[in-house]
Amino acid sequence: MVALVIALALFFDFTNGFHDTANAMATPIATGALKPRAAVAIAAVLNLVGAFLSTAVAQTISGGLIREGQDGIHIGPEMIFAGLIGAIVWNMITWLLGLPSSSSHALFGGLIGAAIVGVGFNAIDPVVLASKILLPALFAPIIAGGVAFTVTKLAYGLTHQGSRHGFKVGQIFTSSLVSLAHGTNDAQKTMGVITLTLIAAGFQDVGSGPQFWVVAVCALAIAFGTYMGGWRIIRTIGTGITDVKPIQGFSAEVSTAASILASSHLGFALSTTQVSSGSVIGVGLGKDAHSVRWSTARRIALGWLITLPAAAIMAGLAQLVAQIGVVGIVIDALVGIGVIVAIFVRSRSSKVSHENVAPPINVSSSAHEPLFGAVEAVVLPKDARKLIKKNEKAVDR
C-alpha cells in the first residue's frame, strides 16, 4: 500500500509539472521571447534544481496540516491514496478545460476530504490550514497582482518605445527565476505527501522532514511533467487573459518569482498558479484596464474558488470506497485510471501543442470576448493559421 501511494504521489507530481508549466513560461512564449520547446526545457531543468533548495513547504504538509500522531489520530496510507485520487482527477479535468486552477489546492483539498471522511474534522489542524494555506490563497494573487501593476506602470513610465526591446531578452532570465521558484514550492508538496505516508506507515519518525531519496524522485517527476508542457493552460495564461507585451511579461515574472520565493522561505504552501494568473491580470491593468479579458479572468477566479472543495469531495468519495478494503482500493484505482484515460482521449479531439500554443496574431480585439477561453481551447488547422497570418488586416476587420 505504501509503494502504491508513493507511485500515485509521483504521478500527481508529474501532473503538477505539466499543469503548472504555464506559471513560468506562458508569458515568454506569448511574447516570442522563447520558443515553446526551449521554454519548457529550461523550466524543467530549473524546477529540478529548485526542488533541492528548500524543504520548508514539505514540512508544512507532512507535519502541519494533517495532525498525524497527535491526540491518537492515525492517517492510514489508504486515506492518502484517496486524497491523491481526488487531486489527480481534478488536475486532469482542469487541464482538459485549459483552466489554470491550483494543483496545490487540489492536493490540499484531496488530503482534507479523505482525512475528514476517514477520521473526522479533528484530523485537520485549523491553525495551519488558515495561516499557511487559506490566507496565502486569499492574499497572494492580490499582492502579486499589485506588485505586477506597479512594476508595469514604472516600466512604461521610465522607458521609451525604442528602449523596450531589452525586456524581451530580460524575460528569459525572469521566467527562468519563476521556474526555479516553482521548484522550491510545488515539488515540495509531493515530498510532504510521501513523507506523511512514511510517517503514517511507521517508516519515519513523526515530525521529521523528507529523506534525500524522496527529494530526488519528486524533483525528477515534476521536471519530467514540466517538460511535457501543459500547452492548454500555457495558452490560457499567455493569450487568454490579456495581450502580453515583453514589458508586461517581464513585470509579471518579476512579481511571480518574488512572491513564490518569499512564500517558500516562510513555509507557505501557496498556489503558484494563483500568483502567476494574478500577476498577468496585474500587468494587464497596469497597461490598460480594457485590455484585460474579464470573462477569462472570471472563469479563472471561479476555478480558484471551487478547486479545494471539488477535490475534497472527490477524495471523500474515494475514501468511502477505500474503506471497504482491498476491493475498495482496486475500485478506486480502476475508476481513477478510467477517468484519466477518458480525459486524455477527449483531449485528442482538440489537440493543443507547441505548434499552435502561440498563434501568430490576435484574431479577436475585444477585451470582453477572449480568443481562447478557459472552457475549451480553439485549435486552427495549419492551413488556416497560414491564411490568417497572410491576411492579418482582413481577419481583424
**294 CB-contact burial (10 Å; exposed 0-12 / middle 13-18 / buried 19+):** middle
Specify the pLDDT at position 277.
86
Burial per residue of 219-249, b for 16 or more beta-carbon CB atoms within 10 angstroms, e otherwise:
bbbbbbbbbebbbbbbbbbbbbbbbbbbbbb
pLDDT tens per residue across span 337-374 = 999 999 988 888 877 777 777 655 443 333 433 333 33
CB 253 within 8 A of CB 177: yes
Cell reading at 337: 485510471
Specify the pLDDT at position 359.
54
Residues in the chain with pLDDT < 50? 361-379, 396
Specify the pLDDT at position 117.
93
Specify the pLDDT at position 228.
83
Cell reading at 128: 495551519
Specify the pLDDT at position 68.
62
Distance from the Cα of residue 284 to its chain's centroid: 20
Cell reading at 267: 513555509
Specify the pLDDT at position 162.
65
Q: Which of 144, 185, 168, 149 is nearest to 53 (CA)?
A: 185
Measure the CA–CA gap between 228 and 240, rounded to whole angstroms.
21
Task: Report helix, strand and coil shares of the chain as percent, to nearest 5.
Answer: 75, 0, 25
How many domains are there within the chain? 1
Give 196's contacts (C-beta < 8 A, 6+ positions apart): 61, 62, 66, 68, 75, 80
Q: What single-letter amino acid sits at 304?
A: W
pTM of the model: 0.78
Measure the CA–CA gap between 98 and 241, rounded to whole angstroms.
12
Measure the CA–CA gap between 216 and 52, rounded to whole angstroms.
8
Domain that holds residue 117: 2-396
